[in-house]
Amino acid sequence: MSTLHIQTKKRSEFIDITRDIQKAVNSQKINEGICVVFCPHTTAGLTINENADPCVKKDIISHLEELVPEDKPYSHSEGNSDSHIKSSLVGSSLNIIIENNQLVLGTWQGIYFCEFDGPRSRNVFIKAIGG
């Protein structure tokens, strides 16, 4: 297993971690199998989406903020209930096929760490499983 350390800079941001995940797969020397990527935080998540046009991640963040606004009267008193909800909507783990020691992603796809309660110091766990 590999651990990716991420320092986020904004309350909400998507950070492309595709290259970091690929490096972890390379270091684990799995030629074929599955890469499991897990985020152990309740106010952050992971997603796969387009990595060619930066407007896509901007649009996703904008619409998540519209769907789940920060300033609603939530019961949770820490002031980050919206972050917990966004994390649940996005999800905390991904499974990606590995072929020839490479992540199998579409032409325009990238893997994103999704911060919803930053800035913070975060971790992502990566496990390549051969098979």
Give residue limits of the domains in the chain.
2-130
Which tokens sit at 104?
């199998």
What's the pLDDT score for residue 55? 95
Which tokens sit at 64?
């998540």
What's the pLDDT score for residue 77? 85
Sign of CA dihedral 106, 25, 113, 125: positive
The mean pLDDT of 57-71, rounded to a whole number, is: 96
The values of phi and psi at residue 22, to 5°, are -60, -40
pLDDT digits (tens, 9 = 90+) for 70-95: 999 999 989 999 999 999 999 999 99
Name the CATH superfamily, with its identifier, for domain 2-130: YjbQ-like (2.60.120.460)
The mean pLDDT of 97-111, rounded to a whole number, is: 97
Which tokens sit at 40?
């152990």
Q: How many CA atoms lie within 13 A of 74 on its CB side?
A: 15
